[in-house]
Amino acid sequence: MSDKMIDLLNSIAKKPGTTVDHLWSVLIIQAQISAYYKITAVLVVAIAIVVARFNLHKFFGVKKDDTKGTILFVSIILSILGMVILYGAVTGLANPEYWAMQKLRLAW
């Protein structure tokens, strides 16, 4: 860790009963929680895409063939968004220390 990050952790740890080691361990745990949250969000969106793909025509009362272009467009946009979100999730799970340092760097 750089000196700036240690200084930031020390300034946060000035509260009674808090240490830099405790804050660091909390950040590492938060990396995993954040990753699981992101993975869950992407799975929910994926399920919504599948449900919409097969039922959109029922919700809006249009012909099934008329919704193909809309579903394709929305699926592509949400898939790209999902890949961006999953990148952060993979980072949080594979290397939580890096995730924590990135969060500290953004806070600095």
| 4-59: pLDDT as tens digits | 767 777 776 676 667 777 778 888 999 999 999 999 988 988 888 788 777 776 77
Burial class (CB in 10 A: 0-12, 13-18, 19+), 9: buried
Which pLDDT does position 21 carry in this prediction? Answer: 78
Question: In terms of Cα–Cα distance, which of 103, 104, 94, 82 is closest to 32?
Answer: 94
pTM: 0.69
Domains held by the chain: number: 1
Domain carrying residue 68: 3-107
